[in-house]
Amino acid sequence: MARYLDIVLPERFVLETLTEQGNWLEYGIYFAKDWKRFDDGSYGWGGFGWSPTYIRCVAHHGDHFEHVDGTGRHFRYRIRALPAAE
Residue 19 resides in a domain: yes
72 located within any domain: no
pLDDT the model gives residue 36: 94
Torsion of CA 58, 2, 16, 84, to 10 degrees: -150
Domain carrying residue 38:
1-62
Model confidence pLDDT, tens digit, residues 51-61 = 789 999 999 99
In tens, the pLDDT along 17-28 reads 999 999 999 999
- Residue 51 is predicted with a pLDDT of 76
Confidence (pTM): 0.88
Measured between alpha carbons, how far is 6 from 9 in angstroms, rounded to an integer? 9
Asked, for residue 11, whether it belongs to a domain, the answer is yes
How many domains does the chain contain in total? 1
Q: Is residue 46 part of a domain?
A: yes
- Of the candidates 16, 31, 8, the residue with the CA atom closest to the CA atom of residue 84: 31
